[in-house]
Chains A and B, each alone.
Chain A
Amino acid sequence: MKTSHIVKLSLLALSAVLIIFAHYLVFLYVPTEAVMGIVQRIFYIMVPVGWLAMLSTFVLFIASIYYLKTRKGSWDAVAYSAVEIGLVFTTLTLLTGILWAKPAWGVWWTWEPRLTATLVLWLILLACLMVRTTATDPSRGSAFAAVVGIVAFVDVPIIGMSTTLWRGIHPGGIILDGGLAPPMLLTLLVSLAAFTALYALILIIRIAVKNDQMTIDKLKTLRG
C-alpha cells in the first residue's frame, strides 16, 4: 500500500472515531447550558466549522504565497482546494450561526460582528474562486486567485476589528477566559480535533483530485 493511502485511511479512521465520540459528548455527556437551554449544543459544531473557515483561509494564504514565488502547479492545487473547502465551511458557519441566532436572539440574522465578518469573508472567498474563471488563460487565473487569496487573509483581522468596534452582542472571549465549564471545554476540544482531522482528510483528497485534473488537462493539450 502506498504511503498516501495509509495517511488517508488513518485520517479517515481518526476523524470517524472522533466525530462519533464528539456526537456522544455533545448529545449525551455535556450538561445543558442554563440560560440558552438545548440549542446551545450547536455551539460545539459552530465553533469547529468557524475555526476550519479560518484555517482554510490561512492555508490559502500560505499556498498563494508559495504559488506566486515558485509557480508550481501543486501549490495552485492546494490554494484552489483551500478556497473551495473554506467556502463550504464558511457557508456552514453562517448556516449554524443563523440557526443559533433565531432561538438565542429571536432573529434569523443580525449584523453582529462575527456573523458580519464571516459574511464578508464568504464574499471574498467567493470572489477568489470566481476570479479564476474570468481570466483569459488558466495560469493567469491561478496568479489572480493567489493575489486575492493573500489579500483575503490580510483583510480578516481588519474586518474583525472594525465589526467588533461597530457593535458587539456576542459572548466575548469566554473560551479563552476560562469561563467555560470543564465538560463543555472537553466537548469543544474533542469536536475541534474531530473536525480538524476531517478537514485534513478532505484537503488531501481534494488536492489529489485537482492534481489529477491538471495532469489530464496537460495530456489533452499534448494530444492536441
Chain B
Amino acid sequence: MRFLSKAVAITCKDVLSEVRARETIPSVLIFAVLVIVIFNFAFGAGPEQMKLVVPGILWTTFVFAGMLSLNRTFIQEKEQGCLEALMICPVKRQDIYIGKTLANFIFLTVIEAISLPIFVILFNLPIIVLPKLIVITILATIGFISVGTLFAALSVNTKAREMVLPILFLPVVVPVILSAVEASALALTGESWSSMASWLQIIAAFDVIFMVVSYLIFEYVIEE
C-alpha cells in the first residue's frame, strides 16, 4: 500500500493546485459548452435528425475537452519545473504515472459531470438515459486518461508540445470513441444494457490493457 500513498500524494498536489489556481477545469468547461453550442449550429436540423448526431457531438466534445485538460496538467508541471522536482523525489516513475492518471481522471470526471447535464438540457434528452450514459462515460474516461497521461507526458517533452498529443492520442483511442458513440446511441434509443454489452466490453478491455501497458512504459517518456 505504501506505493499507492505516494501516488495519492501526487494526485492531492494536483487537485490542491487546481482548487487554488482554478486554471484547468473552468476554461475546459467553457470550451466544452462552446463546442456543444457550435455543433448545434453546425447540425442545426430538426429534432429528429438531431437524435442521430447527438452521440457523435457528445463524444467529440469529451475527446476535445479531454485533450485540452491532459495537455494542461503536464504543461503546468513543465513550466514551473515541477516535473524535474518530481523526478528527483524518491518515488518510482510508475507512482508518478498513477498519481497523474488519478488527477487527470478526477479533472476529466468533474468536467464531464458538469457538462453532461448541460448537454441533456440543450438537446432535450430523456433523463432516464443518464445512468447508462454515466457508466459509458466513466469507462471511456478511464480509457482516455490511461493512454492520454502517457502521451501527454511524452508530448510535453517535445518541441511542438501541445501539437503532438492529438496526433498520437486520437488514432490510438479510436476503439474507445467508436464504442462509446455506438453504446451512447443505443442508450439514447432506449435499448437495454445487454445490447450495449459488447461495446462496453471493448472499452473495458482497452482500459485494462492500456492501464498495464502505460504503467510499464511510462518511465521511458519522462526520463532525463
> Is A68 part of the contact surface with B, judged by Cβ < 8 Å?
yes
Interface bin, chain A: 20 to 34
Contact of B159 with A134 in the complex, beta carbons under 8 Å: yes
Report the stretch among A13-21, A102-110, A159-167, A207-215 that lies at the interface.
Answer: A159-167
Out of B150, B168, B174, B199, which one reaches A165, CB within 8 Å?
B199
- B220 — which chain A residues lie within 8 A by C-beta? 68, 143, 146-147
CA–CA, A36 to B40, complex, Å? 44
Report the stretch among B83-91, B187-195, B202-210 that lies at the interface.
Answer: B202-210
Contact of A134 with B164 in the complex, beta carbons under 8 Å: yes
CA–CA, A215 to B45, complex, Å? 61
Report the stretch among A25-33, A50-58, A123-131 that lies at the interface.
Answer: A123-131
> Is B158 part of the contact surface with A, judged by Cβ < 8 Å?
yes
Contact of A159 with B147 in the complex, beta carbons under 8 Å: no
Contact of B172 with A155 in the complex, beta carbons under 8 Å: yes
CA–CA, A18 to B198, complex, Å? 43
Interface string of A94-124 (1 = CB under 8 A from B): 0000000000000000000000000010011
CA–CA, A136 to B156, complex, Å? 11
- B178 — which chain A residues lie within 8 A by C-beta? 162-163, 166
Closest chain B residue, CB of each to CB of A135? B158
CA–CA, A151 to B205, complex, Å? 14
> Is B18 part of the contact surface with A, judged by Cβ < 8 Å?
no
> Is B56 part of the contact surface with A, judged by Cβ < 8 Å?
no
CA–CA, A166 to B186, complex, Å? 13
Closest chain B residue, CB of each to CB of A140? B157
Interface string of A131-153 (1 = CB under 8 A from B): 10011100010011011101110
CA–CA, A163 to B182, complex, Å? 11
CA–CA, A147 to B209, complex, Å? 15
Out of B160, B164, B175, B221, which one reaches A155, CB within 8 Å?
B175
In whole Å, how far is A137's beta carbon from the nearest beta carbon of chain B?
A: 10
Interface string of B31-65 (1 = CB under 8 A from A): 00000000000000000000000000000000000
> Which residues of chain B in 168-182 are interfacial with respect to chain A, using CB atoms and an 8 Å cutoff?
168, 170-172, 174-175, 178-179, 182
Out of A123, A127, A144, A159, which one reaches B221, CB within 8 Å?
A144
Main secondary structure of the interface of A (DSSP, over half): helix
Most buried by B among A68, A143, A151, A158: A158
Main secondary structure of the interface of B (DSSP, over half): helix
Given A124-B172, A158-B206, decide whether A147 and B150 contact each other with a Cβ distance below 8 A.
Answer: yes
- B167 — which chain A residues lie within 8 A by C-beta? 127, 130-131
In whole Å, how far is A213's beta carbon from the nearest beta carbon of chain B?
A: 21
> Is B223 part of the contact surface with A, judged by Cβ < 8 Å?
yes
Contact of B154 with A144 in the complex, beta carbons under 8 Å: yes
In whole Å, how far is A155's beta carbon from the nearest beta carbon of chain B?
A: 5
CA–CA, A23 to B17, complex, Å? 66
- B170 — which chain A residues lie within 8 A by C-beta? 123
Given A143-B221, A147-B150, A150-B213, decide whether A162 and B175 contact each other with a Cβ distance below 8 A.
Answer: yes
Contact of A154 with B159 in the complex, beta carbons under 8 Å: no
Given A68-B217, A135-B158, decide whether A158 and B205 contact each other with a Cβ distance below 8 A.
Answer: yes
In whole Å, how far is B35's beta carbon from the nearest beta carbon of chain A?
A: 22
- B199 — which chain A residues lie within 8 A by C-beta? 165
CA–CA, A151 to B210, complex, Å? 8
4 new A-B pairs (CB below 8 Å) besides A147-B217, A155-B172? A120-B171, A144-B221, A152-B172, A165-B182
Which of A's residues lie within 8 Å of B, judged by CB? 68, 120, 123-124, 127, 130-131, 134-136, 140, 143-144, 146-148, 150-152, 154-155, 158-159, 161-163, 165-166
Supply 25 A–B pairs (Cβ within 8 Å), ascending by A: A68-B217, A123-B171, A127-B167, A127-B171, A131-B158, A134-B163, A134-B164, A135-B159, A136-B157, A136-B158, A136-B159, A144-B154, A147-B150, A147-B221, A150-B217, A151-B147, A151-B150, A152-B172, A155-B172, A155-B175, A158-B209, A161-B175, A161-B205, A165-B202, A166-B182
Minimum-distance CB pairs A-B, first 8 = A162-B175, A123-B171, A134-B158, A158-B175, A124-B171, A134-B160, A162-B178, A127-B167
